Amino acid sequence: MLKDRCGDPVAGDRVHAERMRDRSHQHFKCCDDMYGRIFHNPEEGYMRTVVVVLVGGLAIGLTGCTKSNGPTSSGEGTMQLKMVDRPANYDAVNIVIDSVDAHIAGSDSTSGWMSLNSSPGTYDLLLYTNGNFAVVGDAEMPAGRYSQIRLKLGSGSNVVVNGQTYPLTVASGFESGIKLNVDATVQANATWTMTFDFDANQSVVQTGDSVRAEFMLKPVLRATAEGTSGFIAGVVLPITAQATVWGYSSAGDTVSTNADVAGAFELSLVPVGSYSLHIVSNNALYLDSTLTGINVNALATANVGTVILKPS
């Protein structure tokens, strides 16, 4: 059941929603590929990663807090994969995920896959904003190193635009699934967690014309380590402004969300840094507003309080 940050139930299915406060401290490394750049920052044999973006069907690299030689230990731990989303200009974006698997390091490409979730599920990406998320994979795993996570997309994904439902065709290259290269060490009696933002606004591409609308799914993901990011929260009034909140960091990171029916908002998975907020009124009766000098620390919430928009 989907719940808000106060624990009250909201509409939604197959969802665990809560404040993402239980994240463990983990350090990540961004592997170099066509879409990523290596950030080497060794600290006593550990490697640290920042936010990474997945564009297209190729993989990104993530690593949990582990010695670079990746020792294997006995026993079992837990591997967990969470999904969130940014606002998008659709009524709904329903994505079918058939299964989620993790690949044992050192195994060949066809063997060594361990299931994190084998039950197909449909997820409306637009439900997972303002601190809500879906757990798409969660399983006890043999302790040790894992090299990939794979999300297999199923048939039946669709997008709803102005009340009309259109099928989503999966772009070429994604039929075998979305693969994330990881260097994850699952420790016995511990949890390794990765959270990714499935950006609906960029992932759904209209390919048809105004007469015959067609839509294609080209997944764009932004992944981050729980424990290496923070939050920005506040309230925008009046609620009739129906505000959209954008956060911009001095390092070039961008995050966004919509205020809820009470005017409250929470930006999740915000990379550590200094931010300015641009609050956009979606009601012509009120002016936009900008806040600056907002510092975000790992595992902490930067609360900007109540922002009252001026009449236009």
Place of tokens 């809500």: 132
Lowest-pLDDT range, 21-25, 156-160, 219-223, 259-263?
21-25
More confident residue, 181 or 57: 181
CATH number of residue 246's parent domain: 2.60.40.1120
Q: Are residues 142 and 124 in the same domain?
A: yes
Task: Give the confidence band of 42 by pLDDT, cuts at 50, 70, 90.
Answer: very low
> How many domains does the chain fold into?
2
Q: Are residues 127 and 77 in the same domain?
A: yes
Q: Are residues 27 and 118 in the same domain?
A: yes
Q: Are residues 259 and 177 in the same domain?
A: no
Type of residue numbered 90: Y
270 pLDDT more than 80: yes
Q: What is the pTM of this model?
A: 0.70
- The answer to whether 98 and 115 have CB atoms below 8 angstroms apart is no
Q: Are residues 50 and 148 in the same domain?
A: yes
Q: Are residues 215 and 234 in the same domain?
A: no
Q: Are residues 75 and 117 in the same domain?
A: yes
The span from the CA of 246 to the CA of 193, in Å, is: 26
Q: Are residues 37 and 53 in the same domain?
A: yes
Q: Are residues 109 and 218 in the same domain?
A: yes
Q: Mean of the per-residue pLDDT values for the chain?
A: 79
CB within 8 Å of 7: residues ≥ 6 apart: 18
Mean pLDDT of 180-198: 86
Among 157, 190, 225, where does a domain finish? 225
Task: Give the confidence band of 269 by pLDDT, cuts at 50, 70, 90.
Answer: confident
**Phi, psi of 80, deg, nearest 5:** -135, 140
- 3-class DSSP state of 206: strand
Q: Are residues 14 and 124 in the same domain?
A: yes
The span from the CA of 305 to the CA of 297, in Å, is: 17
Among 174, 207, 225, where does a domain finish? 225
Task: Give the confidence band of 182 by pLDDT, cuts at 50, 70, 90.
Answer: confident
Q: Are residues 128 and 252 in the same domain?
A: no
> Is the backbone peptide bond immediately before 238 cis, with ω within 30 degrees of 0?
yes
Q: Are residues 25 and 137 in the same domain?
A: yes
Q: What is the pLDDT of residue 30?
A: 33
Max mean pLDDT range (7-21, 61-75, 271-285): 271-285
The range of the structural domain enclosing residue 288 comes to 229-308
Mean pLDDT of 288-292: 98
Please name which of 66, 62, 70 lies closest in space to residue 42, comparing C-alpha atoms.
66
312 pLDDT more than 80: yes
Among 225, 255, 274, where does a domain finish? 225
